[in-house]
Amino acid sequence: MKLIGWVSSSLRAKLMTMFVILTCVPLIAVGLISYQKSYNTVFDNSKSSTMLTAEQLAHDIDNLFTDTSKLLELGKNPHVLHFLFSQNDAYDDAKEILRTISSYRQTYKYESVLNITMINLYGRGISERKGVFQLARNPLRNPHFEELVKHPDAVLNISPAEASPLDRLDGFDYGEQGIISIMAAVKQRSTHEVIGFIVIDVDNSVVKRFCDTVKIGETGFFHVVDPFGTAIFTPSFLSAKQPFFDPDRMDDLLEQPGYHFIDRTEGKPKFVFAASSKTTGWSIIGQVPLQEIVQEANAIRQLIIISVTLSIVFAVSLHFYISKRLTRPVQSLKNKMQLAASGYLESKVIPAGQDEIADLGRSFNLMIDKIKTLLEQSIKEQEEKKKSELRALQAQINPHFLYNTLDSIVWMAEAGKNDRVIELVKSLSRLFRISLSKGRDWITLEKELEHVHSYLVIQQLRYRDILDYEINVDASLYGCPMLKMTLQPIVENAIYHGIKNKRGKGLIRIGGKPESSQTFVLTVEDNGIGIPQEVLERLRADLEKGELPEETGKEVSGGFGLHNVQQRIRLFYGEWYGVHIESTLQQGTTVTIRIPTRGGKLW
């Protein structure tokens, strides 16, 4: 399942899987088919070659016996017939017989024939090596002669395993030399009665040398067996009694010409085959380890395995190279998209090349640029909108105050209080001059204090009996820039909602001091009626959320002024700055304003 998940989650893994399947599977299939074909071909060729060698030996043996069997025609020679039939010494016949044999040898070059012997039923015989001789025992006691008497037309091929040198009829000892004897009956011409026998002794070195020298592969060999399966000739390096293969399969080899099988009964598998000699009835049996005759097929298999392995390695390496070239820019584009999705719009793709992926990267960069432009435009529009709204709110405050002040001036003028009218008009003039500030939003703290002082002068002239004030601000803060109209709405709120509803004279204290190297605080404290706890908590929550309090909506200069100041400070300075209210019912209220020391520009 993990492998499937890995393949399905990666484009590179998918490409690799398809590439390996499309290349390796056909290569492996071709390799297996090629090996099977080559194995079968090599095996068939090796099998045919080894069987052809065995058949060639069988053919050579047939030729040897066929050519040698021509000497059996000596049994028809008149001198031979007379010698075998006569009971007396026939010196002239014996001399003529030996001359005839010599003539045959000179004519047919019988190099492998060791001796030719003729013998009659009474034990008198003649041979090349011994001349005329007389056996000491009855020849018919020999089983081979007995067989020929019963079957006078037969030709017997006697292998070395059937007769040792001591059993030779003529008493001649051939020593260690192996002999194959060809025996036939000699018949009288008229009656066809058996009158003797002819024996041709042939050197078996041709067959023996073949078994010793001819090998199949590296360790394979041939051996010759008679029609009964008895080994006649075996390689000299093997024991005659050593089992060569499964003996139960011997009958199949002897009865079926060209028969072959693979013997797996003992040790490594062996390929066993046979070829038969039609003249002798012998079988030439060969056996060789199967591994040796398919050695070329194994070499081809190794070559195929190496070729397929190298092809697979090349294909996989090529895949890694191609997939890396294809998936690396896609992976880079994916990472950049993830960064952009997390909010980092500075992530850019570096396109490489002119293909579709490079076009996609360039399109992504254009999209990011447009998104940034749209966001900046949207933020700017929102800021401008809030500024416009705050300016509109500020504009709503100024006319309200102006109407009240003008009413006071009219009332004082009607009452003949000219000095107070003059002072009130001067303070009003300074107030509006600072309020306008040539359209600037930022003024120094000193100007802001002058502005609120003018405002308090006007209010004190209007409410002389109930209002007093104190301004105590650290002089080191006078040069700090700040938003104009910050203190006036707070002071106005203290007058109308704190002191105006209080019995007795009210006092407003304005203070200011550094809080740290980065910020300073201004406080507006009154001893007014205070705010109930429930209302205070709700007012704090509304200021924190930036919502306009419902109960202050009826009077513009009340909680609406606090909301205005809070929104303006948060908009220009950030969420960490703003207004905080502390109040105790029937004791008074303290408003704290936190402002950064370097929060704006003066222009």
pLDDT at 10: 63
**Closest C-alpha among 536, 444, 465, 448 to residue 497:** 536
Strands 221-225 and 578-584: unpaired
pLDDT at 384: 66
Distances in whole angstroms, Cα of residue 33 to Cα of each of 36, 45, 50, 304, 305: 5, 18, 26, 10, 12
pLDDT at 206: 73
pLDDT at 473: 92
CB contact set of 7 (below 8 Å; sequence gap of 6+): 13, 14, 17
Phi-psi map region of 31: left, alpha, beta (phi>0 left; psi -120 to 50 alpha): alpha
Query: Domains plus CATH for the chain?
Result: 77-203 (3.30.450.20), 377-596 (3.30.565.10)
pLDDT at 29: 81
pLDDT at 386: 67
Per the document, the length of the chain is: 603
Distance from C-alpha of 116 to C-alpha of 58, rounded to nearest angstrom: 24
Q: Which residue has the tokens 């205005």?
A: 564
pLDDT at 552: 41
Classify residue 235 as exposed, middle or buried by CB count within 10 Å of its CB (0-12, 13-18, 19+).
middle
pLDDT at 557: 35
pLDDT at 332: 76
Q: Which residues of the chain have pLDDT under 70?
A: 1-13, 15, 89-90, 161, 163-177, 239-246, 323-327, 353-354, 357, 384-401, 435-440, 546-560, 599-603
pLDDT at 25: 78
What distance separates the 2 farthest-apart alpha carbons in the chain? 205
- What ranges in 200-249 are assigned the alpha helix state H? 205-213
